[in-house]
Structure 1
Amino acid sequence: MTDDVTARLALPLLSAGQAQKELTHNEALALLDLFAQPVVVAMAIDTPPATPVPGQCWIVGDAPSGLWAGRTRHLAGWTAGGWRFCIPRTGMRVWNLADGCEAVFDGEGWSVGVVRGSRVEIDGVRVVAAQQSAIAAPVNGDVVDAEARAAIAAILAALQTHGLIAG
């Protein structure tokens, strides 16, 4: 096979005049099948499973052993031809079956279930906004009704700002 590979997934490239091009092509398809829109069985696993099924993937842990040695935090996928590995890139996302959450690689490690964004909309309506300032709790006992009304008004304003109730 050729030593020329693609930049992101390290897919093998065909070279001019290469014999048995189907081997390189099939290897590239096997890697795409595993690592494009990947789904992993579990994360932070250091020991390869004893009886993997072709198509299954895992995220290797911080202290890999055996056939996974030296593949810290890589994606490891099993094929009929054995283990295939993918070096994670910043922004790579996987669906983690063990947690039922998405995991994202940030360039140093994987985070599970963290949702990042600037806004959340449901049916085109913003339902969560940036965190608002704290609401002071009512204190003292002289003017309880006025303090309680002010706190309730602040709570309602925050809920409206976040789109959780209509304004």
Structure 2
Amino acid sequence: MSQEDSARLSLPLLAAGQAQKEWWHNEALTLLDIAVQAAVEDIDRDAPPSAPAPGQCWIVGSAPTGAWAGHAGAIAGWTAGGWRFVAPRAGWRAHHRASGKDAVYDGTAWELGVVRAARVLVEGTQVLGARGSAITVPSGGTTIDVECRAVLETILIAMRKHGLIAS
């Protein structure tokens, strides 16, 4: 790599009067091809696959071996020139082909299928928001409807299980 790399993606930058500029430029494009709109075959894999195809990428596990040694957590991409690695930054996403879910790098590790949001909208209508306060199961009263109470308790249990209200 050159002595000057870009701040976010560590892409090699060209320098005035630099020899073989096309090599540096192509290297930067190859790294962009791996990192931008990333799609990976597997997540948390420690050993490189035996027969990767050009363009395939993986998220390296925490105890990498072989050609991946020293690149824990990186996105590893197979290219015509061999393995290339891109170290992730907090907030990066990669689509996991096998599950159809996104993995997000939180600055320490990749989380698969975790969605963080303040609210969820479906066609412009809010369907989920912040967690509500706890709701107690009904008890006492002058008229007791056992079936109604059982249904209410089932609903409250489901809402607690899904995190919609506090326990």
* TM-score, L = length of structure 1: 0.83
Residue equivalent to 1:44: 44
Which residues of 2 match residues 111-150 of structure 1 at below 5 A? 111-139=111-139, 143-145=143-145, 148=148
Q: Which moved more, 1:138-147 or 1:42-51?
A: 138-147
Which residues of 2 match residues 18-167 of structure 1 at below 5 A? 18-139=18-139, 143-145=143-145, 148=148
* Rounded Cα–Cα distance in structure 1 between residues aligned with 2:35 and 2:129: 34
* Rounded Cα–Cα distance in structure 1 between residues aligned with 2:7 and 2:39: 21
Percent of paired sites with the same residue: 54
- Can you give the 5+ residue segments of structure 1 that lack an aligned partner in the other structure? 160-167
Q: Quick check: 2:34–2:75 contact (8 Å CA) kept in 1?
A: no
Deviation per CA, 1:47-70, whole angstroms, max 9, x where unpaired? 000111111110000110000011
Secondary structure of 1:25's aligned partner: helix
Residue equivalent to 1:6: 6
Q: Quick check: 2:34–2:86 contact (8 Å CA) kept in 1?
A: no
Deviation at 1:148, TM superposition (A): 4.4
- Can you give the 5+ residue segments of structure 2 that lack an aligned partner in the other structure? 160-167
Deviation per CA, 1:8-34, whole angstroms, max 9, x where unpaired? 111111110011211111111111111
Q: One-letter code of the match for 2:87?
A: I
Q: One-letter code of the match for 2:105?
A: F
Deviation at 1:2, TM superposition (A): 2.1
* Rounded Cα–Cα distance in structure 1 between residues aligned with 2:80 and 2:9: 19
Q: One-letter code of the match for 1:25?
A: H
* Rounded Cα–Cα distance in structure 2 between residues aligned with 1:80 and 1:133: 56
Secondary structure of 2:44's aligned partner: coil
Q: One-letter code of the match for 2:15?
A: S
* Rounded Cα–Cα distance in structure 1 between residues aligned with 2:120 and 2:23: 46
Secondary structure of 1:83's aligned partner: strand
Q: Quick check: 1:89–1:105 contact (8 Å CA) kept in 2?
A: yes
* Rounded Cα–Cα distance in structure 2 between residues aligned with 1:103 and 1:10: 21
- What is the root-mean-square deviation of aligned Cα atoms in Å? 2.4
Q: Which moved more, 1:62-71 or 1:131-140?
A: 131-140
* TM-score, L = length of structure 2: 0.83
Q: One-letter code of the match for 1:12?
A: P
